[in-house]
Structure 1
Amino acid sequence: MARVDIAIPNYNYGRFLRHCVASVQNQDIDGMRILIIDNASTDDSVEIAREIAAADSRVELLLRPKNLGPHASFNAAIDWAQSDYFTILCSDDYLPAGSLRAALSSLDRHPDANLVFGHTVFVQGEEAPTLPSGLTGAEQYMAGDAFLRCFCSTGRSPIDGPMAVVRTEAQKRLGYYRPDLPHTDDMEMWMRFGAIGAVVRLDGVQSIVRIHGANQSAVLKNVHHWNIESQAAFEAFFEAYGASLRDADELLRKARRSLSDRAYWCAVSHLLRGDPGVRDLIGYAVRLHPMSAILPPLGYLWRRPDAISRLRSLVGMARVDPAQSA
């Protein structure tokens, strides 16, 4: 049986597909299966996928005649997976050398951990930049409850990209990605993993994500929209999978408060810069935490590792005449 299964969903990213698959093929791992799932692309993706599969017996194809949406591809990948470990890599992203081996080795060392993640590098445009070095040997073991508290105390995922490597058995037990969370489905899924066991954070770069106009996240234009989508992930998790957690109510309150605090300080920063969206951000902050209309949430700033630099930035913007900085 293969050691790791890598699913690569694709839609009209033929120009990226070879580079993505090659970054997986070059991971130097014995026992690998790769599944390219094409969602009825209208470019040359299918032709390229067939060429890749013909040249490498490790590559399998699922070529859909009809576009069923991205979640159909993610969930078909879960059904397909059968190796010890599993990951989904979008076809416009790619892996640095050694990153997958480091992730598998970490899960081997920690049999009670079901998920491992590293850092993500975001690159602009469609050219293939030089790959950074992969993950180092340094790692941080995190109990599941500590991992969940990271989510709720910051209002965001501690995994800074869309990719993590997981145990296949745990993924199948946790089930499918939710189509009603088009932008934060991965965030909700990672919280499910935290609910059933430990995770490991690795030092170094695990994946490289391209930023371009066709990204799924490109339709989210500002912090306010991201806050709304993040809240949807928290609400979905605690209404369903996380509802039975002993401290579910406390964690959900903490998550809402974190989102409120972030919206409040983003509103302050927008106001000082003369940017639009202040009304939406303040309204959102007060709806989630009414006391923020009276008392500024200073605790949020102090909890941030960059608290001092952010305060200096805010003070600096307050000293600038917006008319002069326009």
Structure 2
Amino acid sequence: MRTVDVVVPNYNYGRYLRTCVESILNQEEVQVRVLIIDNASTDDSAEIARSLAHDNRVELILRQENLGTHASFNQGVDWAQGDYFLLLFSDDFLVPGALKRAVDLMERNTSIAFCYGLDVAVEDDAPIPRIPAQPYPTPFELHEGRAFIERFCRMGVFQIPGSSVVVRTSIQKRVGHYRTDLPHSDDYEIWLRLALHGSVAEIGCVQAGIRSHANNRSKAFASRQIQHILHTAAAAESFFSHEGKNMVGSDAMRQLARRGIANRAYWSGISHLLRGDIEAFKLLRQAFRISPLKAFLPPVGYLLHRPDAGRRIRFLLSGWPEIFRRRFH
């Protein structure tokens, strides 16, 4: 039976921790180990972690000092020794059968460096919804590593639920640690590095639940789109300044990433403009700074290639009348 090592970083999410860890321990037909790394929580997290450690598959690191998230991520990478590795945030959870689907797929195709799946959204402290049985055989789409990197560069974003990412441990060890100078886009950068070592499988099943709540750092961060775009740009530049620079055609790929991020900033700016949000001007300035031509020639091709192109185009078309009404009345 294949082994999966799961690291659960935690800080003051005691109310979610049990649900998260039990969703791992209840995975069938795989052998799991769990490492809970608590970053000096001030709630009841440590007490809950100790109760979970009554299961001998659970190990604990309970810090007396908050060393930051990267210290947890990287200590988890060092700890892992199973066949596969997963970093699962303590406010998220796995759905039944998720690890078996990931492992079975990666066992059948040893070229896969990592895989990810779909997610179900859970708001605040709502209970986990009933999740229908997922299809079998497991549907998936395989992306050659270079094609995966190119898709990111072209679109300037990843649409990947991080808590669904299962990595082949041998490749994670080869790639190494998360970069501490990327506070909000370290995951983007490490996925790019992983793709240098194999293909990427996109599983067409719900694999994880992602909880959104007031104290969720990613939720607050996502509300500032300009910051998300700037940090995405930092991840791309870091990648192409280090491991990515050895790719064939790396200079062209870096330029593609810059254009993709500028295109994303442009259309995000237009979207914010239609909603009357002053953040629109920051986004548009960023787009024009990277690619001044966009001030005169909108990147329509980028919009048409987005998977949500239809919805976005309908929103853009419906928003212009309101712009003109506010402008001329």
Q: What band does the TM-score fall into relative to the shorter chain?
A: over 0.9
Please give the alpha-carbon distance, in whole angstroms, between the structure 1 residues aligned to 2:308 and 2:72: 38
Q: Quick check: 1:45 aligned with 2:36?
A: no
Q: Which runs of 5+ in 2 are unaligned?
A: none
Q: Which residue of the partner structure matches residue 92 of structure 1?
A: 91
User: What residue identity is the alignment partner of 1:198?
Assistant: S
Q: Which residue of the partner structure matches residue 65 of structure 2?
A: 66
User: What residue identity is the alignment partner of 1:237?
Assistant: F
Tell me the SS of whatever aligns to 1:121.
strand
Q: String of CA shifts for 1:208-247, please: whole Å, max 9, x gaps.
A: 1111121122342322111101101101111111111112
Q: String of CA shifts for 1:273-317, please: whole Å, max 9, x gaps.
A: 322112211110011111112211111122123334422321221
User: What residue identity is the alignment partner of 1:208?
Assistant: G
What displacement does 1:121 show?
A: 2.1
Q: Which residue of the partner structure matches residue 315 of structure 1?
A: 317
Tell me the SS of whatever aligns to 2:271.
helix
* More moved, 282-291 vs 263-272: 263-272
Please give the alpha-carbon distance, in whole angstroms, between the structure 2 residues aligned to 1:239 and 1:134: 43
Check the 8 A contact 2:185/2:231 in 1, yes or no.
yes
- Identical pairs, percent: 44
CA 1:20–1:118 in structure 2 vs 1: closer, same or farther (change >3 Å)? same
Please give the alpha-carbon distance, in whole angstroms, between the structure 2 residues aligned to 1:149 and 1:36: 35
Q: Quick check: 1:292 aligned with 2:294?
A: yes
CA 1:182–1:279 in structure 2 vs 1: closer, same or farther (change >3 Å)? same
Q: Aligned ranges for residues 229-240 of structure 1 at < 5 Å?
A: 229-240=231-242
Please give the alpha-carbon distance, in whole angstroms, between the structure 2 residues aligned to 1:246 and 1:126: 47
1:265 to 264, 267, 274: 267
Q: Aligned ranges for residues 141-220 of structure 1 at < 5 Å?
A: 141-220=142-221
Check the 8 A contact 2:162/2:187 in 1, yes or no.
no
Tell me the SS of whatever aligns to 1:196.
coil
Please give the alpha-carbon distance, in whole angstroms, between the structure 2 residues aligned to 1:129 and 1:31: 24
Q: TM-score, normalised by structure 1?
A: 0.94
Q: Which residue of the partner structure matches residue 138 of structure 1?
A: 139
Tell me the SS of whatever aligns to 2:93.
coil
Tell me the SS of whatever aligns to 1:157.
coil
CA 1:236–1:162 in structure 2 vs 1: closer, same or farther (change >3 Å)? farther
Tell me the SS of whatever aligns to 2:203.
strand
CA 1:188–1:27 in structure 2 vs 1: closer, same or farther (change >3 Å)? same
Check the 8 A contact 1:2/1:33 in 2, yes or no.
no
User: What residue identity is the alignment partner of 2:73?
Assistant: F
Q: How many equivalent pairs are there?
A: 323
Q: String of CA shifts for 1:105-160, please: whole Å, max 9, x gaps.
A: 11101111110110122221123222424653111111101111111111011424
User: What residue identity is the alignment partner of 1:40?
Assistant: A
Please give the alpha-carbon distance, in whole angstroms, between the structure 2 residues aligned to 1:216 and 1:9: 13
User: What residue identity is the alignment partner of 2:258?
Assistant: R
CA 1:134–1:240 in structure 2 vs 1: closer, same or farther (change >3 Å)? farther
* More moved, 210-219 vs 6-15: 210-219
User: What residue identity is the alignment partner of 1:41?
Assistant: S
What displacement does 1:65 show?
A: 1.6
* More moved, 244-253 vs 132-141: 132-141
Q: Which residue of the partner structure matches residue 248 of structure 1?
A: 250
Please give the alpha-carbon distance, in whole angstroms, between the structure 2 residues aligned to 1:257 and 1:30: 42
CA 1:73–1:48 in structure 2 vs 1: closer, same or farther (change >3 Å)? same
* More moved, 214-223 vs 78-87: 214-223
What displacement does 1:323 show?
A: 4.5
Please give the alpha-carbon distance, in whole angstroms, between the structure 2 residues aligned to 1:127 and 1:259: 35
Tell me the SS of whatever aligns to 1:177.
coil
Tell me the SS of whatever aligns to 1:4.
strand
Q: Which residue of the partner structure matches residue 109 of structure 1?
A: 108
Check the 8 A contact 1:139/1:201 in 2, yes or no.
yes
Q: Which residue of the partner structure matches residue 20 of structure 2?
A: 20
CA 1:264–1:57 in structure 2 vs 1: closer, same or farther (change >3 Å)? same
User: What residue identity is the alignment partner of 2:7?
Assistant: A
Tell me the SS of whatever aligns to 2:149.
helix
Q: Which residue of the partner structure matches residue 57 of structure 1?
A: 56
Q: Aligned ranges for residues 113-132 of structure 1 at < 5 Å?
A: 113-132=112-131
Check the 8 A contact 1:134/1:206 in 2, yes or no.
no
Q: TM-score, normalised by structure 2?
A: 0.93
Q: Which runs of 5+ in 1 are unaligned?
A: none
Q: Which residue of the partner structure matches residue 5 of structure 1?
A: 5
